[in-house]
Amino acid sequence: MPSAIVILTGAGISAESGIATFRDPDGIWSKVDYREVATPQGFAANPARVHQFYNWRRNNVRGFEPNAAHAALARLERDFAGEFLLVTQNVDSLHERAGSQRLIHMHGQHDKALCNACGGRTIWHDEMSLASRCPCCEEVGQMRPDVVWFGETPYELDRIQAALRGCDLFVSIGTSGNVYPAAGFVREARAAGARTVELNLEPSQGADLFHEAEHGPATGIVPAFVERLLGA
């Protein structure tokens, strides 16, 4: 039984809840140019287009429910006696809705806004536009989705890296391993001596960096993995 676990999740864990992944054949980046909607340059060039994209995503994910894989990770957090940290690249809120608490959204959250004027981060469920007013500093026209874009620094990297240095089990779930720094976490965990496991539909970009792998839909392989871990 490990004494400290770090789990990394990506879009694949929410796929069976109905939320599209990014890089699968029908994924979001096959339909939308990420440079237009997920970079600071895209926002500077056409903020209305970026607001339209995230307003659509915020509305779209509202109807989806956590699945058995989210529930299994919430159970692992609850029933595992050691150190535990769940790091997600996902901007949906399915992990917390399943009951996860020791959770970092390293790429931000759809249902939060960030003010470019004062840096305030606030819960945001409504449409966002160039006319939106910051509830902290009251500036108009400075609100953006609280989502980390390409070229920006993910949240809470110091805390994540400290957990990686101290873990003896690292599990990566439903991520293609294309986006750094998350794709490099397996190396950091290995350097700390952790056992590393990939649970994904198919081998990821960095599959050969893991000690072990299981391939299949998350709702099957994640609950089974948690069951074995807690039963061990």
Active site residues: 107
Would you give the DSSP letter of residue 156?
T
| Interaction between residue 86 and ligand OAD (CB under 6 A) | no
The nearest distance, CB 195 to ligand OAD, in angstroms, is 20
Looking at the DSSP assignment, which residues form a beta bridge with residue 169?
A: 5, 195
Would you count residue 202 as binding ligand OAD (CB under 6 A)? Answer: yes
* 152's tokens: 């920006």
Kindly tell me which residue out of 4, 6, 8, 38 binds ligand OAD, with binding defined by CB under 6 A: 38
Name the minimum Å distance from CB 137 to ligand OAD.
Answer: 25
Nearest to 10 by CA among 150, 147, 179: 179
Tell whether residue 218 is a contact of ligand OAD (CB under 6 A): yes
DSSP state of 35: H
Contact 112, 135 (CB under 8 A): no
Q: Residue 207 gets which letter from DSSP? A: G
Phi/psi of residue 87, nearest 5 degrees: -110, 125
Q: Which is nearer to ligand OAD, 12 or 223 (CB)?
A: 12
The nearer residue to ligand OAD, 80 or 149, going by C-beta atoms, is: 149
- Which residues sit at the interface with ligand OAD, rule CB under 6 A? 10-12, 15-16, 21-24, 27, 38, 89, 107, 148-150, 174-176, 178-179, 200-202, 204, 217-218
